[in-house]
């Protein structure tokens, strides 16, 4: 099984995540600071590292910079409660596999780990979506500037205004459609459970079957709107019995503006 190193100075968070990964069958270790992380990496060959950013001795960014030079094949997922657009951009330049903002569910973390371990490298779109997520979740875009995800086929996704533009056409999203689109973009290529989507977007907890019934007509309307864009109705896919996943082809990726 892949070997994973958890680096987090919060004992409860580190121990909880360690147990979750071990129950999932991963060979996982946990350390409490950046110095201990560098020592562990020097002793053993790890496939992936879950890295906190704010630590008392060596920051997560410093650990990331050193490991990028020494262990170029090591996959890194940032897992932090102190995310910012600046650190996200720097981490993306260091080619992290993902950038997750706490609090985050164990399922999202596990999906991110599996995705990182399967990918040979993070695609350009992955980096673009991660930058979009940090701006969207931390509200860290410059004042007065709309946050846009621009695709090379001319599509612009503006989550602030809830408008998707293509070929001089504007697709206006309802508040719930905009929230769902934002959540799926924030977890690009990861399956989001029905219950999790309902909890985030509508604010209440339901069973899987009830949540699926609520979401089905919403996603049906959203896909009809996206059908205006060539291939747009294929972006969001229903995963039977699980939830929904958004996948935009990498050849359509662009930059944040």
Tens of pLDDT, residue by residue over 37-73, are: 999 999 999 999 999 998 988 999 999 999 988 998 9
The mean of the pLDDT values for the chain is 82
Same fold, 3-122 and 142-252: no
CA neighbours within 13 Å on the CB side: how many for 91? Answer: 31
Residue 123 pLDDT? 44
Assign a CATH topology to domain 142-252: Arc Repressor Mutant, subunit A (1.10.10)
The more confident residue out of 144 and 230 is 230
pLDDT at 14 (0 to 100)? 92
* Mean pLDDT, range 234-239, rounded to an integer: 91
Pick the more confident residue, 253 or 188: 188
Please indicate whether residue 185 or residue 20 has the higher confidence score (pLDDT): 20
What residue ranges do the domains of the chain occupy? 3-122, 142-252
User: What confidence tens digit (pLDDT) does each residue in 159-213 have?
Assistant: 778 899 988 889 999 988 988 888 888 777 888 889 888 888 887 778 888 889 9
Average pLDDT over residues 9-22: 92
What kind of fold does domain 3-122 have according to CATH? Rossmann fold (3.40.50)
- Predicted pLDDT at 7: 97
134 CB contacts (<8 Å, ≥6 apart)? 83, 84, 85, 88, 99, 101, 140
For the chain, the residue count is: 257
The pLDDT assigned to 152 comes to 66
The C-alpha angle 29, 34, 36, rounded to 5 degrees, equals 50
Q: Which residue has the higher pLDDT, 104 or 227?
A: 227
E strands of the chain, at which residues? Answer: 3-7, 27-31, 48-51, 75-80, 98-101, 148-150, 156-158, 163-166, 169-172, 192-193, 236-239, 243-246
Does the model's pTM come out above 0.75? Answer: no
């Amino acid at each position: 099984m892949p070997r994973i190193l958890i680096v987090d100075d919060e004992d409860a968070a580190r121990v909880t995540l360690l147990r979750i990964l071990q129950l999932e069958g991963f060979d996982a270790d946990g350390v409490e600071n950046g110095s201990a992380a560098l020592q562990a990496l020097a002793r053993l060959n790890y496939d992936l590292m879950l890295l906190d950013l704010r630590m008392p001795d060596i920051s997560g960014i410093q650990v990331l910079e050193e490991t990028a030079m020494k262990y170029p094949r090591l996959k890194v997922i940032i897992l932090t409660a102190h995310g910012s657009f600046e650190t996200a951009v720097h981490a993306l330049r260091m080619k992290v596999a993902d950038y997750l903002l706490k609090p985050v569910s164990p399922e999202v973390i596990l999906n991110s780990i599996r995705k990182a371990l399967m990918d040979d490298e993070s695609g350009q779109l992955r980096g673009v979506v991660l930058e979009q997520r940090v701006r969207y979740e931390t509200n860290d875009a410059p004042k007065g500037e709309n946050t846009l995800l621009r695709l090379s086929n001319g599509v612009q996704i503006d989550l602030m205004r809830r408008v998707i533009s293509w070929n001089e056409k504007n697709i206006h999203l309802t508040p719930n459609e905009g929230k769902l689109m934002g959540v799926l973009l924030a977890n690009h290529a990861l399956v989001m459970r029905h219950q999790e989507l309902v909890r985030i977007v509508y604010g209440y907890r339901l069973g899987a079957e009830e949540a699926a019934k609520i979401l089905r007509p919403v996603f049906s309307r959203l896909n009809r709107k996206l059908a205006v864009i060539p291939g747009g109705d294929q972006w969001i896919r229903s995963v039977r019995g699980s939830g929904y996943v958004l996948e935009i082809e990498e050849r359509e990726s662009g930059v944040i503006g």
